[in-house]
Amino acid sequence: MGAGVMKSGGGGGKRRRRGRRKSAPMAEINVTPFVDVMLVLLIIFMVAAPLLTVGVPVELPKTAAQALPQDTEEPLTVTLASDGTVLIQATEVPRDDLVNRLRAIAAERSDDRVYLRADGTVPYESVAQIMGALNAGGFSSIGLVTDVGGPGLDGQD
């Protein structure tokens, strides 16, 4: 009385193949991982974009002037801090070497526009000297950066 295993289908004849059939390759692209990666990159760039601006702390004077339109090329920014230090973008530059550095930068750029950020407590003479250095360095279009919301000269705030 033993138990045995019997093969189904009998013996000797042609066997039927069961299981997987040979299938054609799938011609569709699964875009779900692509969309997931793109959403993650979008979030990263949205978080990182505000951190890419020039971050030298300067107390800008307030005026009623409107903001200048933005171009595709990153604008050159020269900052005059309250202690008298001069920075090109975020790099501190000695005043003696300012004109030479500006000439080297002007030779590489197609735009002669530069933005001057000067602290509101800096004397006008220092601002005028830096503007003269910018002009001598090859930049003829100088924009003074201010904060909006200041008093207007038309008698209205």
Indicate the residue type of 100. Answer: N
Structure tokens at 96: 């003696």
User: What gap in Å lies between CA 81 and CA 56, rounded to an integer?
Assistant: 8
Higher per-residue pLDDT: 83 or 146: 83
pLDDT digits (tens, 9 = 90+) for 37-46: 999 999 998 8
Q: What contacts 65, CB < 8 A, 6 or more positions away?
A: 146, 148
Q: Which two tokens stand for residue 105?
A: 């930068």
pLDDT of residue 27: 77
pLDDT tens-digit readout, 101-134: 989 988 888 877 888 998 888 898 988 999 999 8
Q: What is the pLDDT of residues 43-56, one digit of tens each?
A: 998 888 877 765 66
Query: At 4, is the pLDDT very low, low, confident or very high (cuts 50, 70, 90)?
Result: low
Full residue range of the structural domain in which residue 85 is found: 74-144
Is residue 15 scored above 80 in pLDDT?
no
pLDDT at 66: 72
Cβ 143 vs Cβ 69: under 8 Å: no
- Which amino acid does the sequence have at 152? G
Residue 86 belongs to some domain of the structure: yes
pLDDT value, residue 75: 79
Question: What is the DSSP secondary-structure string of 83-146?
Answer: TS-EEETTEEE-GGGHHHHHHHHHHH-S--EEEEEE-TTS-HHHHHHHHHHHHHTT--EEEE--
pLDDT, average across residues 59-84: 77
Domain count, the chain: 1
CATH of the domain at 83: 3.30.420.270
**Residue 9 is assigned to a structural domain of this protein:** no
Is residue 83 included in any domain, yes or no? yes
> Given a cut of 60, is residue 8 above it in pLDDT?
no
CA 1 – CA 135 distance, rounded (Å): 110
Q: Is the pLDDT of residue 70 over 60?
A: yes
Is residue 78 in a domain? yes
Residues 155 and 157: their CA atoms lie apart, in Å, by 7
The structure's pTM equals 0.54
Domain assignment present for 117: yes
